[in-house]
Copies of this chain bind each other. A is one copy, B any other.
């Protein structure tokens, strides 16, 4: 959701169909090339460098192609998060639960976003969060060890990953800012304005959980609002 780059969803429609059939298999080999291309595109776009064949081969060897079914977990509370995921297709959520059974979505991730519990990954400690697939997903994942190795050996990737964590830090700080300063109503509008697709793509329950309110409350907010954005 932090992605500021355009992504042509049309290109991936055939992929999505294939996905529905083979999601649980080890992956349709025909999907792999376009998945990696999406990754290369983003790296080249962000770093303004051209990746040579050798670089691409290295990336292909360290990024693991992975498919996830809707509702499948990528990370469960208590696990140590040992890989970072690049979303090629689909949507995921990272959420936490308090002792009282309440779930709160920390972040959504869609195409071209990166997702991990960096806290668990960096500290190599048990995660407080869960990550699961909201839709069937195609991911490219890299382990923390491989990431660090790649960072040390490949300047382009080092620069890329630095941008990455900067973007994460900024997005996270903005989330705090909104949560502390805006009303739920303002946050709801902000979310839909920043991510117009979210209104169609995610259920009101999901959006409510992201905003930190009950679904009933969001429903009431929607009722009394000039329907500029709503479909």
Q: How far is the CA of A129 from the CA of B177 in the complex (A)?
A: 9
Known: A170-B122, A172-B169, A173-B118. A180 touches B180 (CB 8 A): no
Q: How many copies does the complex hold?
A: 2
The reply to whether A173 and B119 contact each other, CB–CB distance below 8 Å, is yes
The reply to whether B181 and A179 contact each other, CB–CB distance below 8 Å, is no
A residues 128-155 touching B (CB-CB < 8 Å): 128-129
The reply to whether B177 and A106 contact each other, CB–CB distance below 8 Å, is yes
Chain A binding site: helix, strand, loop or mixed by DSSP?
A: helix
Does A57 belong to the interface (CB within 8 Å)?
A: no
Known: A169-B168, A181-B97, A181-B104. A119 touches B176 (CB 8 A): no
A residues 93-109 touching B (CB-CB < 8 Å): 96-98, 102, 104, 106
A119 CB to nearest chain B CB (Å): 4
The reply to whether A176 and B177 contact each other, CB–CB distance below 8 Å, is no
Q: How far is the CA of A162 from the CA of B148 in the complex (A)?
A: 12
A15 CB to nearest chain B CB (Å): 31
Beta-carbon nearest neighbor of A212 in chain B: B180
- Bits for A164-199, please: 1 = Cβ < 8 Å to B, else 0: 011011101111110111100000000000000000
- 9 smallest CB-CB distances across A and B, nearest first, come from A104-B180, A98-B181, A172-B172, A119-B170, A169-B169, A180-B212, A122-B166, A179-B179, A96-B177
Q: Which residues of A contact B (CB under 8 A)?
A: 96-98, 102, 104, 106, 118-119, 122-123, 128-129, 162, 165-166, 168-170, 172-177, 179-182, 212
